[in-house]
Amino acid sequence: MTPKIRIGLIFGGRSAEHEVSLVSSASVYKNLDPDKYTISCLLIDKGGLWRAVSSPSEPGKPAVGGEGSFLPWGKRASDVVLDADVYFPILHGPNGEDGTIQGLLEMADVPYIGCGVTASALGMDKALSKSIFSDKGLPQVRFRVLLEQDWSRDRAAAVQELGEALPFPMFIKPSNLGSSVGISKAKDAAGLEAALELAFRYDRKVVIEEGVRCRELECSVLGNDAPRASLPGEVIPAREFYDYADKYIDGRTAFVIPAALPPALVGKIQEAAIAAFKAIDGAGMARVDFFYEEATETLYLNEVNTIPGFTEISMYPKLWAVSGLSFPRLLDELVGLALERHARKRRLTDREPG
């Protein structure tokens, strides 16, 4: 019999998306084939301590060991042990999706699912990724970036400058966050000031985008150096935009999976999704989000999510399902891609110089 692959799920985290991570990890846990895998689970609590747990659905119940820090300067010496063949960080937002946990796994020289340090950092930082996308000629809505120090120095001037640079409405987003946390739509100068105040609660850098009348489309990407794209889906928000409350609390947003689009536009979205994935040097997986302005037939790249949601209602697995890849088979592919990428890296680093 083929021995089972040992999977190490890492979830929770210190970001504002802690609860989202718990829901995603529970869904992954449920869909990993028990005939192929044995699963170990590590919860990172909101204070940064790590705890071995029996499953993601029981984050407060330790299965083995205690809690502590994996860092040498932690307050407690950790006896939490996790020995796996492949690690799956399901950590949304800062301190998880931004290259930090990926750097730890790289230093440990272990296989892990998803993008590497650079792609994760770029995907998390909307300001930096937009600069990369601009360099690659990928179309985006007009945007500006504002630092907290400039905002604090002269708020009135910042609001005035943004009002002169971009038309209302505008969307204001923390540069390094996801799941629509801290995002607002501003229809006038007063709304812009309030939106900036909220966004700066989450990050020192904020992205301000021109609002367009558009359809919101998403496409899943899977692969390493030769990625492929799923059929796109459409998000139809119940509110003015797809915010955190509607994603994870109210659940009134409608989804069209796959989206009702002409074949030519489907192909264009898939090509753009792969181009965006390659632009940040992605690996394993990503969900790429777009705006489509029907009046001008213009497709705009919004952002790349390197650890997309894996909840039962999340677009990433659902888009692959309608593209012919079930949730369990999708996880199989992600495990294979992680092992392939690590093996290739080891072949490179194991070569003698000269």
Q: What is the pLDDT along the chain (354 residues), one digit of tens a residue?
A: 789 999 999 999 988 788 889 999 999 999 999 999 999 999 988 888 888 888 887 665 655 555 666 666 655 545 556 789 999 999 988 888 999 999 999 999 999 999 999 999 999 999 999 999 999 999 999 999 999 999 999 999 999 999 999 999 999 999 987 556 789 999 999 999 999 999 999 899 999 999 999 999 999 999 999 999 999 999 998 756 545 555 544 566 889 999 999 999 999 999 999 999 999 999 999 999 999 999 999 999 999 999 999 987 899 999 999 999 999 999 999 999 999 999 999 888 666 665
* Rounded Cα distance, 123 and 306, in Å: 6
Residues 263 and 301 in one domain: yes
67 within domain boundaries: yes
Residues 242 and 260 in one domain: yes
Q: 103 lies in a domain? A: no
Domain count, the chain: 3
For residue 305, give the nearest of 325, 324, 319 by alpha carbon.
319
Alpha carbon distance 63, 42 (integer Å):
10
For the entire predicted model, the pTM comes to 0.90
The per-residue pLDDT for 243 is 53
Q: Give me the pLDDT at residue 277, please.
A: 98
Residues sharing a CB contact under 8 Å with residue 137, sequence separation 6 or more, in sequence order: none
CA distances from 36 to 53, 298, 318, 329 (A): 20, 44, 22, 11
Q: Cα–Cα distance between 75 and 68 in angstroms, integer?
A: 8
The pair of three-digit structure tokens given for residue 289, joined into one six-digit string: 């989000």
Alpha-carbon torsion, ordered 138, 144, 148, 150, to 10 deg: 140
Q: Token pair 């790590």 is at which residue? A: 50
User: The domain that contains 17 carries what CATH number?
Assistant: 3.40.50.20
Query: 15 with 76, same domain?
Result: yes
Q: Which residue has the tokens 């990050």?
A: 203
Do 132 and 151 share a domain, yes or no?
Answer: no
- Residues 197, 82 share a domain: no
Residue 324, domain member (yes or no): yes
- Same-domain pairing of 274 and 169: no
Name every residue whose Cβ is closer than 8 Å to that of residue 222 and which is 6 or more positions away in sequence.
228, 229, 230, 284, 285, 320, 325, 330, 333, 334, 337
- Check: CB of residue 118 under 8 Å from CB of residue 99: yes
- Contact between 196 and 158 under an 8 Å Cβ cutoff? The reply is yes
329: domain CATH number? 3.30.470.20
354 is a domain residue: no
Domain-located, residue 248: yes
Residue 77's pLDDT is 45
Q: Let me know how long the chain is.
A: 354
Query: Which of 165, 191, 210 is at the close of a domain?
Result: 210
- Beta carbons within 8 Å of 80's beta carbon, 6+ residues apart: 42, 50, 51, 52, 65, 66, 67, 68, 70
222 and 314 both lie in a single domain: yes
Residue 347 included in any domain: no
* Same domain for 249 and 205: no
Residue 174: both structure tokens together: 């923390």
SS3 for 273? helix
Would 277 be classed as within a structural domain?
Answer: yes
Alpha carbon distance 115, 144 (integer Å):
27
The candidate with the shortest Cα–Cα distance to 92, out of 164, 176, 170, is: 176
SS3 call for 334: helix
Containing structural domain, residue 27: 5-96
Residues 236 and 307 in one domain: yes
Are the C-beta atoms of residues 213 and 293 closer than 8 Å to each other? yes
Task: Please indicate, yes or no, whether residues 182 and 291 belong to a single structural domain of this protein.
Answer: no
pLDDT in the model for residue 120: 97
